Structure formats: structure tokens, C-alpha cells
Amino acid sequence: MMLTDEMEWDSPMYREAANQFENVAELMNLDDNVRERLIMPQRSLVVTFPYRTDEYSKVRTAFGYRVQHVLTMGPTKGGIRYAPDVNLGEVAALAMLMTWKCALVGLPFGGAKGGVRIDPHGLSRTELQRVTRRYTAEVINMIGPQKDIPAPDLGTDEQVMAWIMDTYSQNQGYAVPAVVTGKPPELGGSVARREATGRGIISLLPSAALRCGVGVDGARVVIQGFGNVGRYAAIAAAEVGCRVIAVEDLSGAIHNGQGLEVGRLARHVDLTGGVRGFSGADSISHDELFALECDVLIPAAVGSVITGENVHSIEAKLVLEGANNPTTLEADRVLKDKGVLVVPDILCNAGGVTVSYFEWVQDLQNYFWSENEIVSRLREIMIRAFEEVLDLSMRKKLDMRTAALMIGIQRVAGAKLVRGVYP
């Protein structure tokens, strides 16, 4: 097999994803030809582009990326991330994870991911709009309802999706809502998309809690991240009777052992921009948050936050991975040895792409479903995938991450083998 440092997209995060794939491929005794194809993304685009700042005479350059990992299964699908340190390797790693995730939950997509290397919080709304429209123009030949369908991710939201949809549609000469998901409902966005990832995570909580002897009612939950994923995971956790005892975002971390008032916290974040300063909670440090005595830990912010350094202090019995790639391989092994049940990202946060798939289907058919239909179909898909993963993990005595990856990789490998090699 080839060396990762010979690849343009080599980076620490890509190595993690590639090693994870290699380990599982080895266990599965995966066909060597397919193995070599799946470790590399099929298409990668790097662009640099200019955008005007609000000071009209000042033009800055941004880096942009779009990676499509596997084109075998249908169009590709994956979010667009705006972050100051995003790079090709990170985007390639996340595209690979999207492939396994879509296959695991049975969606007709290959994985993709995009990114722009900017700090979205350091830009005005007009600057953000110009960056988004120019990035869309740069990747316009790669995306489309039958080609590749972006969605929100870290640092992007419904408004960014609306600008992408508008830019693409202006270029085509007619409205093309199915080019992105996670749009506002006025443009053909799905009701319940915003809450989907958080809700999807919590839909797995009762079954996962049962496996590790945690009672849902009163369970102490710690969440890192209070954005799209973390906020709605917190709301859904409180709805099923859990106590959300601590939350961290970029502004800081807060704790109340009796449980935070999640609705009031959400309003505080809307008003102030962060969880810091929320009355009815104490301020704690990042390290203290991860070491809190709790039942459930939900990393729902950025990658590689559960590491070899902090994993020994983790007290949770159950980790629900809301973020992509939050646990390093080293930390994963320690959690396994400690007997902590980890519901892996490709299963746990698949609610977002599942409701995105519903949105795409509705846009293509111009026929929109009710919120109840969406929520009940989401639950059905999440729970079916959870049971499949649990069943394989028990039959083969594997951890849930390995079992989930095996199911995803097997489906993609099977499709590649029957399609064959062109020409």
C-alpha cells in the first residue's frame, strides 16, 4: 500500500482517517484493489480566490477546497466548513468519513466535504456573502443536484446555504433548490433540518444508555459545543429528562450540577454570542469540563478533543460523538479499555445528512413532508442503523466504531466491485 506522505492531502487528520480505514480493511480482509481506491479521494479541488473587504480598495485572498471521496454510489454529499485552519487534508478526511456515514445509514450518496480557510467570526455579513458567492463560483462545475450537494458544517449556516443556492441558480437561469441542503424553509429547506443532528444523537440515547447501565431520566450530560449540533442535542436531552450539567463553546465553559436551564441558555447565547456569563452556572475550564463526573459526554464542536492527554480523566460512561472525528485513535483505545461505550460519529451524527437527504428528495419532487413525517423517518433510520451496528459488534466482538465502519466500507466496496473498472 502507498505511503500517506506521498499524497497531496497528507495531514494529521487525513492520516487518522486513513489509518482507521486501513485497520478496518485489514480486519475485513478487504479486496486489495478496492482498498487502494478507497483510501484516496476521487476528486480534489484547491482554489485561491479574491474577495473585497468592506474597505472597498482592500482585496484579500482565501483558500477554498472541495473534495469528493467516492463517486460510485450516486451524487456526493457533504458540508462546507469555514475555519481559519481548514486544509485539504482535513477536508479529504471528512469526505472519507461522509462516505462511510452515508453508506451506513443507507443513503444513495458518496462522501464529499468543502472548506474555506477564513475566520467567519472575523468577517462582516457582507464580506461573508462575497466570500460565499465567489467560493461557489470557483466550485460551480463540481456541484449540482445530480453531482455534489453541499450542506452546512462548522462556521456555515442556513444563510450561507441560501447564498450558495442563489449564486448557483443565477448561473443556471432558474431556481435550483436541490443544489444544497440545510437551506431556510422559504427556499425549499426542510423543516426540522436545523435540529436534525442533535435530535438524531439523542434518539440513540435510550438504546445506548441501556447498554451501559445508565438511566436516561436524570442522566448527567456534558456537551462541548452549543452551535447547530450541541444546542439541539442539549434541548433534546433536556426533553427526554436528562440533566445537562455543563456546556462549553468558544466563549468558555459553564457548569451547574443540578442541570442548566437549556431554553434560557439558548436565549442567552442568542443575545450574547456565547455561553459565558450565563447566570445560574459557574465558570469552569476546558480541562475541568472533560473531567466532570457525568454519565454522558457529547463532543459537538471540533475534531480531536478527546486525546491521549485528557482521556484518562474522562468519567463518562457513554460518549455520543456529535462532532466529526472528536476522538483520536489513541484515546479511542483507552476509552475501550476503560469500558466506556462510544457511539461513533458516522452513526451518532448521521441525523444531519439523513434529513438533508429528505430535503434533497423533497426538492427534486417539489413535494414537502410534514415535520412529523420527517422526525419519525429520521428516528426509524437512526435506530435501524444503531441496531445493525450493535448486532455486528456483538456477533464479532468489536467496538461500535469498528462495526459501523465495517458496514459502511462493505457496502461501498460491494458497489465498487459490481460496477467494475472503466474502461
In the complex, which residues of this chain contact ligand NAD (CB under 6 A)?
Answer: 152-155, 197, 224-230, 248-250, 300-302, 322-324, 349, 352
- Rounded to a whole number of angstroms, the minimum distance from the CB of residue 377 to ligand NAD is 17
Determine which helix (DSSP H) or strand (DSSP E) holds 354, and give its type and residue range. helix 351-365
Name the residue nearer to ligand NAD (CB basis): 172 or 272: 272
Q: Which of 77, 113, 183, 416 is catalytic?
A: 113
Q: Are 400 and 218 in contact (CB under 8 A)?
A: no
Rounded CA separation 356/338 (Å): 35
Name the residue nearer to ligand NAD (CB basis): 46 or 302: 302
Q: Are 158 and 189 in contact (CB under 8 A)?
A: yes
- Rounded to a whole number of angstroms, the minimum distance from the CB of residue 419 to ligand NAD is 28
- Rounded to a whole number of angstroms, the minimum distance from the CB of residue 100 to ligand NAD is 13
* Nearest Cα to Cα of residue 319 among 292, 296, 300: 296
DSSP state of 190: P
Rounded CA separation 11/5 (Å): 8
> By beta-carbon distance, which residue lies closest to ligand NAD?
227
Radius of gyration of the chain (CA): 21
Rounded CA separation 404/353 (Å): 16
Name the residue nearer to ligand NAD (CB basis): 349 or 416: 349
- Rounded to a whole number of angstroms, the minimum distance from the CB of residue 228 to ligand NAD is 4
Cα–Cα distance list, 186 to 127, 190, 213 (Å): 23, 9, 43
SS (H, E, C) 234-292: HHHHHHCCCEEEEEEECCEEEECCCCCCHHHHHHHHHHHCCCCCCCCCEEECHHHHHCC
Cα–Cα distance list, 402 to 24, 100, 118, 272, 307 (Å): 6, 11, 34, 41, 18
* Nearest Cα to Cα of residue 316 among 298, 302, 328, 334: 298
- Rounded to a whole number of angstroms, the minimum distance from the CB of residue 302 to ligand NAD is 5
Rounded CA separation 312/28 (Å): 30
Angle ∠(404,410,415) on CA atoms, nearest 5: 135
- Rounded to a whole number of angstroms, the minimum distance from the CB of residue 217 to ligand NAD is 26
**Which grid cell is 9?**
492531502
Rounded CA separation 268/136 (Å): 33
- Rounded to a whole number of angstroms, the minimum distance from the CB of residue 131 to ligand NAD is 16
Does the annotation mark 58 as catalytic? no
Name the residue nearer to ligand NAD (CB basis): 99 or 228: 228
Question: At 151, phi and psi to the nearest 5?
Answer: -155, 175
Give the count of beta carbons closer than 10 Å to the beta carbon of residue 170.
Answer: 14
Residues classed as catalytic? 113
